[in-house]
Amino acid sequence: MNIGYVGVGAMGGAIARRLLLTYKLLVYDLDESAMQHLTARGAVGCADLAELGARCDVILLCLPTSDQVRSVIFGQGGLVGAVRPGTLIIDQTSGDPNATRAMAAELAGSQVDLVDAPVSGGARAAEAGTLAIMVGAGAEQYGRLLPVLNAISPNVMHAGGVGAGQIMKLVNNLLSTAQRLLTFEGVALAAKNGVDPRRAVEILLVGGGRNSYLENIMGPLVLNGQLDTGFTLGLAHKDIRLACQLGIESDVPMFFGSLTRELYQTYISELGCDAKVDRAARVVDRLAGTRVVPAGQAAFGSGE
């Protein structure tokens, strides 16, 4: 079985490195340097999408948006003109489930399967093999993809049919992005009223307000001035927007989701789409007149 990976940036590259521990891998990315990082580890770089599509039985994608997934599959020089019947395409993009379902229906006529398997946990979890992988696929497709995804992480969960994995990723990111901002505000509130931020986090971690963001990001990173972890404000806003749109389409009220979307738009207006999400903590500090994030410490990047 030949496996290919398209989109080997921060997140896709980390997943691809994990796959290389088990499988030979063909890779393609518009960024030549991203491919070089993987070919140095034994991957085979492809000149274009057509070459990768023609040589692979299973192809994984990790791209910023579903529009880019459509371009990679159906655009000029895309995969659809090269892949063979029976090819399985696994989309790990945090994308639009309805767009994915539409693309899957188009590909079915060519006997090509498209399923979704977005992930949660970030690049560090990808390197460690602890990602949560949420799969939208039919039962037969799921059985076929499971050995490949288990090479990435044992935490593979079948959410339902095509699109269900991306639905759960949107729900996951809606909760986590709102939780991040509420955590910023809560710790700033404690600090403004005389509680040391580190002590506030320690207390919250043993109370009912404990959450994954406090434990894994706020405490060890943000309080040390390390704000360049995670993905960008633009990508966070994209996921919240898609979640809110899904709520509109399915008649689910999105009171907190809509507020969170607007807050992220506000941070984008101030910091830009490409700023990392935790940079918003500096804005909260400025508005609150606090110094939860220490001044003058270098930040570092770790990818999405």
Q: Domain residue spans in the chain?
A: 3-161, 167-288
C-alpha 146/C-alpha 256 separation (Å) is 35
Q: Which residues pair with 156 in a beta bridge?
A: 133
The dihedral region occupied by 194, where left means phi > 0, alpha psi between -120 and 50, and beta the remainder, is: left
Question: 290, 192 in Cβ contact below 8 A?
Answer: yes
- The torsion region of residue 16 among left (phi > 0), alpha (psi -120 to 50) and beta comes to alpha
The per-residue b/e assignment along 267-282, b for 16 or more CB within 10 angstroms, e otherwise, is bbeebeeebbbbbbbb
Q: Where are the alpha helices (DSSP H) in the chain?
A: 10-19, 32-39, 49-55, 66-74, 97-108, 122-128, 139-150, 164-192, 197-204, 212-213, 233-249, 255-271, 280-288
Confidence at residue 296, expressed as pLDDT on a 0 to 100 scale:
64
Q: Would you please indicate which residues are annotated as catalytic (active-site) residues?
A: 169
Predicted local distance difference test score (pLDDT) of residue 130: 96
Pick out the chain residues at pLDDT < 50.
297-304
Instruction: Give the pLDDT score at 298.
Output: 42
Residue-level pLDDT at 270? 96
pLDDT at 123: 86
pLDDT digits 0-9 by tens, 59-116: 999 999 999 999 999 999 999 999 999 999 999 999 999 999 999 999 999 999 999 9
**CB contact at 8 A, 170 and 164:** no
Rounded CA-CA distance 234/7 in Å is: 18
CATH number of 167-288: 1.10.1040.10
pTM of the model: 0.92
- What does DSSP assign to residue 81? G
Reference 220, options 278, 270, 149; nearest CA is: 278
The pair of structure tokens assigned to 183 is 């955590």
Look at domain 3-161 and name its CATH class: alpha beta
Query: Which of 179, 171, 173, 172 has its CA nearest to residue 235?
Result: 173
